[in-house]
Structure 1
Amino acid sequence: MSATTEHPKVFISYSWTSVEHEQFVMDLATSLRNHGVDAILDKWDLKPGQDKYVFMESMVVDTEVLKVLVLCDRKYQEKANNRAGGVGTESQIISQELYGKVKQTKFIPIVCEYDDDGQPCLPVFMKGLIYIDVSSEERYGEGLDQLLRLIYEQPFHQKPKLGGAPAFVSNGGTSYVRELGAAVRAIQDGKPNRHGLETLFVKGVLTELNKLYVTPDGNDYDEGVYQAITGTKGLRDQVAEYVEAVAAFSNDDPIAIGPFIKLMEGIGAHFGPPDTASSYYPGWVDFYAFFAQEALLIQTAALLRHERWKTLRRLVDTTYIVRGSQREMTTARFVAFDSHLESLEQHRNQRLKLNRVSVSADLLKERCSAEKTSFNELMEADVFLALKSLLVGHETSEGWISYWAPRTSVYAAHGNKHPVFLRASDETTRNGIYTAIGVRSGAELKAKLDSSETLLSNLNRVGGRSFGRFSFLEAINVDALTK
């Protein structure tokens, strides 16, 4: 809505060219009034006994008149240029105001006709102004829409609001890695030094994570963990930008995610209690565990987006070196990065009486944006990793089978199928998914799913709670995928 009034006032300046043109002007003015614009027209508002020149001048300079619409046809152009008649006087007033004390944006040329050379019929004093075209039936509708948007100050292309200062400015560089730009440009340009720049970026992310880490303490220790995690939003977005560049510009080259694997292992090196700890304290590793989980989801989403099937295979089949619960370094599959975060899911959930199915799922959703991996893409990646985990069948040292829990699916609607699985009816896409998860056929996949009945039931539960709107088999479009 216009900042000035609920019914913005405009004055229409035109030439009495012909009966047809006068009717056209009346129709346009009527349309404006039907859309809430207080259109002032001499035929309606100039009464007998009034001085028409005084009326014209008052409309042009009146501060309550938001816009002066100058309807330009051949006759208006001619009279304005020759300073002839009422149009000449009116245009002289307008031109003085246009280049004087009134804002130029008050005067809007409305082109009603073109000359024999195909040029809009604009008077000389308006030649340089951006105009609105209503010269034909085909252009009238778009022109009227453009005019109404201009009057109500609601342009089609909205100027974005100013955001805050970049993290490296506002936070003294504590959550921003300066090497990102150079690494991304090297990836895009295929530079031979890209690997070195990517390694510097990975080291930078790990350094900044260590700076942001807060040792849990006290009965409300979850608050420190939560605030530390929220402080990594800038790093999260940088990782999203980095993995998008790798997925988009590296083709389907599994070697390309080598630096990302080092990033995951660097984060995993902090799993388990700190060296200085004498006894276990809940939440010690939750800060690193959450970021690792989020980073893997973002990388998976990027590779799915660009259908990098062989690269995805390496991501989920790699043996990662991470820290174990007894401080020793050990080997692990990708499911090691899907941790149950006690500080958030239990302590924070209960302490603040949040009654949430998954606090970490809420946090993952809040940190998403369309530009830096959307939440729908994150949910799709979550389901893909859960599918792969079913086929891995990794038994832990405690004797139970670990799997990836698609916790973001608490937000999924019943029967929700993700795009990559919706396309499973296409043979090329289906074979790509087989490549990524490591099966040779739909029959092999179906057999493995049939043998994972217990785990399948667990995938519809997060934190021991059932969320009935989600069906894992429907989410992966199982009928088409096992075709």
Structure 2
Amino acid sequence: MSSPPRLFISYSWSTSEHEQWVVDLATELVNSGVDVVLDKWDLREGHDSIAFMEKMVTDSSISKVILVCDQVYASKADGRAGGVGTETQIISAEVYAKQSQDKFVAVIAEKNDAGKPCLPTYYKSRIYVDLSESDRYAENFEKLLRWIFDKPLYLKPEIGKPPSFIIEPDAPALGTSALAKRVIEGVKADKGYVRGALDEYLSLFSEHLERFRISDDESEMDDRIVKSIEDFTPSRNELIQIITALAQYTDPQAYVSRIHRFFESILPYLSRPPHVNRWSETDFDNFKFIVHEMFLYVIAVLLRSEHIESATYLLSQSYYVPSNSDYGKNATVSYTAFREYMKSLEIRNQRLKSNRLSIRADLLEQRSKTSGVQFRHVMQSDFVCFLRADLTNTDSYDRWWPETLLYATRHYGPFELFARSTSKTYLSRTLSLLGVPNLDLLKAKLDEYASDRTNPPRWQFESISSSVLVGFDQLGTKE
């Protein structure tokens, strides 16, 4: 077992109360595994107090030094009271400058009349630990301990490998970046050409998505699918930026029909192209993930920006499919067509012996970190898609499996959309989004989930509580 860190406490003998505060702090640190050197304990009669202080600061066995700062300490450290060095426990600027500054941290015991921490001038620009406020004492004492033990709360992750679209020059691209920039600039400047530019962008996006069709090679199919999904990341982020710009600078209702037609145009990618006669079940799985993820993000961005009516449009409208598609005789399908089962990821889980509850959920969660959209908004989007499908569709095949909610199984409160729906006005918009006219139908569905444990989405022993995610008891309780 390694030896405990040794720490020296520098402080001012301001008042007897302050000295006792320092002793209490030192005692807490000792009880927490720190070997504290304190004059009250270690300086004996007849010893040179100045030599003692300087030895403690320069001693290589002392790994940390705390400067307990109050108004007296700051004043004497700056040499404004009695001259530098007259207070033997105070570290002057000269002593401080001779040592590695990483060895020191200021602990605030007192603030001035303006509420500012009392700090020596030489320390003004450095980070300190504030123990002057009782309501945050425990939290900040933990920060102090983490500094002493070199165990920061946040650690820089190991550097991973660059994504394939960065290091591989032959990675496919849509070639839409110039158009995307034009659309975004036009939206921000309220230019009249935005509609035409957006149509051109979405049309080219849809057409060039063909470039991501997976070709045969000797690698594992699931590896090719995951690589294709990774290669698509810049294009996904480009679309997210455009939808975000529309949501921030315009009323998306003016453009939502174009977004609807865009998703209509990419539906065929989810199944066999007309010219292909031989195929396997996993051949189009990269498109199944890509299209599903894009739809989730479009709904997520609209809901995040409170453009509920635009999201409602995309969820309520049918999507036309060509007669030669794999959707049988159906001329139109609901948005649930954008989420299809991916056998390849199940194969991947087994092949790599990953033992993951959902590779797809893991991918969605990991990829959200480079999207500019917080994952909680993606989960909210997924939950709304799931809930609306269950509330409005009677066919068992026409459901939406909420992949991301695997990460919401320990979510102990309502999503933001439902938390805001405590307002009756807001609630009416949310109910329209879910496709129900009143709370009774929503309650009936939530009661159904509660009474049938096999009904709500489950992953082995993990399941969501739809009632908690909706916060039903608080809905519509305020004007």
TM-score, normalisation: structure 1? 0.69
1-structure distance, mates of 2:90, 2:472: 74
The answer (yes or no) to whether the contact 1:14–1:70 under 8 Å persists in 2 is yes
Name the CA shift for 1:204/1:49 in 2 (closer, same or farther; >3 Å). Answer: farther
- Residue number in structure 2 paired with 1:287: 286
From the superposition, tell whether residues 268 and 66 of structure 1 become closer, same or farther in structure 2 (CA, over 3 Å). same
Deviation per residue, 1:314-356 (Å, 9 max, x gap): 21344534455559996544343233445445x6577678898
Asked whether the 8 Å contact 1:272–1:285 carries over to 2, the reply is yes
Distance in 2 (alpha carbons) for counterparts of 1:480 and 1:135 = 38
Which amino acid in the other structure matches residue 298 of structure 1? Y
The 8 Å contact of residues 383 and 472 in structure 1, kept in 2 or not, is answered as no
Identity %: 27
Residues 383, 475 of structure 1: 8 Å contact kept: no
1:77 to 64, 75, 78: 75
Q: Cα distance 1:266–1:40, how it changes in 2: closer, same or farther (>3 A)?
A: same
- 1:404 maps to 2:399: yes
Gaps of 5+ in 2: none
- 2-structure distance, mates of 1:415, 1:67: 40
Checking the alignment, whether the CA contact within 8 Å between 2:74 and 2:121 is kept in structure 1 is no
> CA separation in 2, counterparts of 1:381 and 1:321?
22
Secondary structure of 1:263's partner?
helix
The CA distance in 1 between the partners of 2:3 and 2:199, in whole Å, is 57
Q: Deviation per CA, 1:400-423: give whole Å up to 9, x if none.
A: x85133253884759999645687
| Structure 2: distance between partners of 1:125 and 1:417 | 46
Q: Is it true that 1:256 corresponds to 2:251 in the alignment?
A: no
Aligned partner of 1:296 in structure 2 is: 295
- Evaluate the alpha carbon distance shift between residue 56 and residue 232 of structure 1 in structure 2; reply closer, same or farther with a 3 A threshold: same
- For residue 43 of structure 2, the aligned residue among 46, 49, 67 is 46
Q: Is 2:54 the counterpart of 1:57?
A: yes
User: By how many angstroms is 1:390 displaced?
Assistant: 0.6
Q: CA deviation at 1:264?
A: 1.7
C-alpha contact (below 8 Å) 1:112/1:134 kept by paired residues: yes
Q: Which residue of 1 aligns with 2:94?
A: 96
Choose which of 29, 34, 37 in structure 2 pairs with 1:37: 34
Query: What is the CA RMSD across the aligned residues, in angstroms?
Result: 5.4
Over 3 Å counting, the alpha-carbon distance change for 1:275 and 1:59 in structure 2 is same
Are residue 382 (structure 1) and residue 385 (structure 2) matched?
yes
Structure 1 counterpart of 2:4: 7
Partners in 1 of 2:211 and 2:3 — Cα distance? 52
Unaligned segments of structure 1, at least 5 residues: 394-400
Number of residue equivalences:
460
Matches within 5 A, 1:167-316: 169-172=166-169, 174=172, 178=177, 183-184=183-184, 186-187=186-187, 190-195=190-195, 198-199=198-199, 202=202, 205-206=205-206, 209-215=209-215, 221-251=221-251, 253-274=252-273, 276-316=275-315
Q: 1:427 to 1:64 in 2, by over 3 A?
A: same
| Structure 2 residue matching 1:31: 3-state secondary structure | helix
Q: Report what 1:396 is aligned to.
A: none
Indicate conservation of the 8 Å contact 2:12/2:90, yes or no.
no
One-letter identity of the residue aligned with 2:276 = A
What whole-Å deviation, never above 9, does each CA across 1:29-86 have from its counterpart, x for those lacking one? Answer: 2233233332212232234564444322221222332333334543783487279699
Q: Distance in 1 between matches of 2:465 and 2:16?
A: 68
Distance apart, 1:153 and its partner CA: 4.6
- Cα 1:75–1:316 change in 2 (3 A) is closer
Larger Rg: 1
User: Offset at 1:386?
Assistant: 1.5
1-side partners of 2:199 and 2:66: how far apart?
A: 60
Alignment check: 8 A CA contact 2:6 2:62 kept = yes
Work out whether residues 71 and 111 of structure 1, in 8 Å CA contact, stay in contact via their aligned partners in 2: yes
The residue type equivalent to 1:98 in the other structure is Y
Higher mean displacement: 471-480 or 142-151: 471-480
Deviation at 1:432, TM superposition (A): 1.9
Change (3 A) 1:301 1:88: same
Relative to structure 1, is the Cα distance of residues 233 and 285 closer, same or farther in structure 2, using a 3 angstrom cutoff? same
**Alpha-carbon separation, structure 2, partners of 1:108 and 1:150:** 9
Task: Note the C-alpha offset of 1:380.
Answer: 0.8
Q: Does the CA contact (< 8 Å) of 2:8 and 2:66 recur in 1?
A: yes
- Tell me which residue corresponds to 1:398: none
The worse-fitting range, judged by mean Cα deviation, of 145-154 and 110-119 is: 110-119
Structure 1 partner of 2:339: 338
8 Å CA contact 2:165, 2:230 repeated in 1: no
Distance between the aligned counterparts of 1:16 and 1:350, measured in 2? Answer: 67
> Is contact 1:225–1:287 with CA below 8 Å preserved after alignment?
yes
